[in-house]
Amino acid sequence: MAITVVGSVAYDSIETPAGRRERCLGGAATYFSLAASFFTDVRVIAVVGEDFGPEQEAVFNARKIDTRGIERAAGKSFFWEGSYLDNLNEAKTHQTDLNVFATFAPKIPEAYRDSEFLFLANIDPVLQRRVREQMPDVKLVAGDTMNYWIKDHRPALHAMLKGLDILLINETETKMLAGNNNLVQAARAVLELGPRTLVVKHGEYGATAFFSNRSFGQGNQSAGHPFRAPALPLEEVVDPTGAGDSFAGGFFGYLASQPQLTPAALRRAMFYGSVLGSFAVERFGTERLQELTRKEIDDRFIVFRELTHLD
């Protein structure tokens, strides 16, 4: 089933211990849709500037991602510059230029309206909610957010959360959103804000899914218990940018490819999320996702199983 994703398509200048790249193609919607495209049809809603050309367009086309919802506006695309020189787990932001994103008003192409899955990548929760309301009939809605919206845009964020089935955020954001430093208690508080399933990303330690009793991920057998997917211990992390968005793409893409939303499907989706995240960081920007194959994904899924399973 098709996924519509709304979020940023951008340029990133990135410095890590492995080197530096200027203005690579980036943005949450870019990483998400590349990762999800290995599992299902993906349709993107975003805005770009006049600096977005055929070369960038080709990256989406190569993965058969529908770009009819990427609006071209006068001006420059969203630009982010950051580094991970001291700490691969946390980006230091040097510059953020919203550019054409500052006045972004998402429009949903008619051809996208039959999408059964909707992903609201990290943008202003007011816009996320607006897109959500224009697609009332989707089967499953997931979304992301970040510390900026949690700190200063609570009312809009809470309104958006009520429309989500699944929220994917990192551990720091979970604790900040709940105002509670214990992960289990924080997760419970977040689940009371709307989403039935909360996926907490722990970076190099993987991710944990928490379930309300209205979540399809909540099996009978494991009532009340979360589910943990590992991350792959990696020899070298070249560039952590986009790891979380790639996790989200692998996770949601896999779910959208399944005939039924079951606890077992959710568990496998957590593993596929981790698999896509592990590939994303192996090269700069989207380089690794662009050349990835479904066979490599499935081989690594087996490695993840061996990494965690007793037999």
> Which residues form the interface with its own copies (CB under 8 A)?
182-185, 187, 202, 204-206, 208, 221-222, 225-228, 230, 233-237, 264, 267-268, 271, 303, 305-311
CA distances from 52 to 12, 277, 291 (A): 13, 25, 21
Burial of 265 (0-12, 13-18, 19+ CB in 10 A): middle
What residue spans of the chain are helical by DSSP H? 28-36, 54-62, 125-134, 147-152, 154-161, 171-178, 183-191, 243-256, 263-280, 287-291, 294-308
Secondary structure letter of residue 242 according to DSSP: T
Instruction: Say how far apart CA 81 and CA 239 lie, in whole Å.
Output: 13
Nearer to its own copies, 137 or 235 (CB): 235
Secondary structure letter of residue 112 according to DSSP: G
Instruction: Say how far apart CA 199 and CA 4 lie, in whole Å.
Output: 20
Min dist CB 131 to its own copies, Å, is 32
Nearer to its own copies, 147 or 185 (CB): 185
Min dist CB 218 to its own copies, Å, is 12
Min dist CB 202 to its own copies, Å, is 7
Nearer to its own copies, 155 or 233 (CB): 233
Min dist CB 20 to its own copies, Å, is 19
Nearer to its own copies, 152 or 311 (CB): 311
CA distances from 244 to 51, 79, 137 (A): 26, 18, 27
For CA atoms 299, 300, 306, 311, the dihedral sign is negative
Instruction: Say how far apart CA 279 and CA 145 lie, in whole Å.
Output: 22
Min dist CB 248 to its own copies, Å, is 19
Nearer to its own copies, 49 or 203 (CB): 203
Min dist CB 275 to its own copies, Å, is 13
Nearer to its own copies, 27 or 206 (CB): 206
Nearer to its own copies, 152 or 236 (CB): 236
Instruction: Say how far apart CA 47 and CA 106 lie, in whole Å.
Output: 8
Closest Cα partner for 145 from 216, 198, 210?
198
Min dist CB 137 to its own copies, Å, is 31
